[in-house]
Amino acid sequence: MLLAGTIVLAVLWLRVGPQRARGPAAAEESPSLDHEETVTAFSWQLPPTFPEPTVPPDNPMSEVKVQLGRHLFYDVRLSATGDVSCGTCHRQELAFTDGRAQAVGATGEVHRRSAMSLANVAYNRHLTWADPHLDRLEEQLLTPLFGRHPIEMGLKRDPAVLDVLAVDVELNQLFDAAFPNDPKPISFVNLGRALAAFQRTLLSGSSPFDQYWHQGQDNALSSAQKRGMKLFFSRRLSCSECHQGFNFSGPVNYRGHRENPQLHNTGLYNLTDGAYPSSDQGLFETTGRAQDMGRFRAPTLRNIAVTGPYMHDGSIATLEDVIDHYAVGGRHIRHGQMAGDGSKSPWKSDRLHGFVLTAQEKGDLVDFLRCLTDQAFLVDPQLAPPKKSATHPYG
């Protein structure tokens, strides 16, 4: 018999719909092309209950394009220094994040935010911590590749970058096969399209929780994890109000379905009148509206046990500390430049009301969060770096 209170989860799961089956180099300025592609049919390998991801019509999925994207994702030649790849900051064993409080770029520049997990990135309503308008992987990729503030990969839109790839026989073959009707298949546009296609296959949905809930394996969860699950979905804690649905996250997109973005102020800071540190003020930086101060999106909780430290700036070290933060309804920093009581912020989300947990309940909740770890995803060889060779210096 299912635990009381988990009926909420069944309601949330209904929202996702029915289950579906699982040349010469030249620089380009536009993120999209008008030509049509002839590609083989793509077969999604979806976890149970996961809907089919949205795919833009100008970048249809194909197996060869995914393989090209996988090669490029781990290729250090796509960094200005030649020793950093996308996979350096998005490590598979850490659910495609980096284990740092704040990301570090190719040149050693420390970023203001942590590197987000790419698990299930295909479903994200938007693709950064605080910009609700950036919702296409093909466009988001331009920032880490070419952005200057901060420098991530540090590339320049220089044809010489493409020339390096053009002399690689294997990559030439993959570009030709992935973009068969493009007279110049090796381009920055197609590079971004291939990377986006690979990232859409980073699908995680085979955790012990999934085995328990979807496959009926009662012994997949311990008694403590079942108690923690009941707490997670309870009105008392309301964790699932922000971390909901099949992805345990904020709003999602999938084929035929598009949700409105939501961002939240969790009372992490309250310097003066609800202010966040000037180095990162969330959605406020885009809108300039006071009520948007410190608002960030709710990331997925899938694989949360391996994606710490937590929050947009990595300022909370452990899951236990995260629970303490929400239990008091906002973080109280007593000393230093960041001093302030986040629970009293005028811009804090009204969903944060605080709660009281016993030591056992807190342990149960942490145990439940740990059961969202998909070990198969963390070691899936299809998502790992391709085999190294003399012409492929994968990082």
CATH classification of the domain holding 266? 1.10.760.10
Q: Are residues 330 and 188 in the same domain?
A: no
Q: Residues near 383 by Cβ (< 8 Å), separated by ≥ 6?
A: 70, 92, 201, 202, 377
Q: Are residues 285 and 180 in the same domain?
A: no
Ordered mean pLDDT values, 10 residues apiece, the chain (395 residues): 41 38 35 43 92 97 98 97 96 98 97 97 97 95 93 94 95 97 96 98 98 95 98 97 97 97 98 97 97 98 98 98 98 97 97 96 98 98 84 55
Classify residue 42: in a domain, yes or no: yes
Q: Are residues 105 and 193 in the same domain?
A: yes
Residue 341's Cβ-count burial label (10 Å; 0-12, 13-18, 19+) is middle
Euclidean distance between the first and the last CA atom of the chain, given in angstroms as a whole number: 48
Place of tokens 């540190």: 277
Q: Which domain holds residue 215?
A: 208-376
Tell me the C-alpha distance between 158 and 170, whole Å: 22
pLDDT value of residue 211: 97
Q: Are residues 243 and 304 in the same domain?
A: yes
Q: Are residues 200 and 212 in the same domain?
A: no
Domain count, the chain: 2
Q: Are residues 77 and 172 in the same domain?
A: yes
Classify residue 310: in a domain, yes or no: yes
Q: Are residues 44 and 148 in the same domain?
A: yes
Q: Are residues 133 and 187 in the same domain?
A: yes
Classify residue 395: in a domain, yes or no: no
Phi, psi of 148 (to 5 degrees): -115, -20
**Helix, strand, coil % in the chain, rounded to nearest 5:** 35, 5, 60
pLDDT value of residue 151: 96
Q: Are residues 233 and 198 in the same domain?
A: no
Q: Are residues 281 and 345 in the same domain?
A: yes
Tell me the C-alpha distance between 77 and 294, whole Å: 36
Q: Are residues 222 and 164 in the same domain?
A: no
Tell me the C-alpha distance between 7 and 240, whole Å: 12
Tell me the C-alpha distance between 344 and 270, whole Å: 8
Q: Are residues 212 and 339 in the same domain?
A: yes
pLDDT value of residue 392: 57
Classify residue 232: in a domain, yes or no: yes
Tell me the C-alpha distance between 108 and 208, whole Å: 37
Phi, psi of 264 (to 5 degrees): -135, 145
pLDDT value of residue 387: 86
pLDDT value of residue 47: 96
Beta bridge mates, 257: 254
